[in-house]
Amino acid sequence: MATTNSCILQFTPSYYAATQGNEFNFSGLYLYHTYKGSNANQVEIIPRHQFGTLTVNNWVIRDGLSGSAKVIARAQACMSMPVTGVAPSA
């Protein structure tokens, strides 16, 4: 008996205005974000001191809830967050 995959990715380009971008609709996909431990997939590479925080991630996207579900994509990024509310040093 064949099984059906319930994962759906629908991409809808936006032709109305360049600022609106594109629409992505996901169904049946699960992003695994682990920021601590031996299997961490997000790391703070520049800690929050004078310049802010720089974090990189390599999140896994699977087609099921189980940790053994098939990896179908990765969400990779470099994120920055400025320091706010800190008085300048003299």
Query: Is 1's pLDDT higher than 80?
Result: no
**Could you tell me the residue ranges of all domains in the chain?**
29-83
pLDDT value at residue 85: 64
- For 74, the token pair is 């990765």
* Out of 1-5, 15-19, 79-83, least confident range: 1-5
Q: What is d(CA 63, CA 71) in angstroms, rounded to the nearest whole number?
A: 7
> pLDDT of 33-61, one tens digit each?
888 889 899 998 887 777 788 899 999 99
Q: Which of the pair, 8 or 72, is modelled with greater confidence?
A: 72
Q: What is the pairing mode between strands 42-46 and 30-32?
A: unpaired
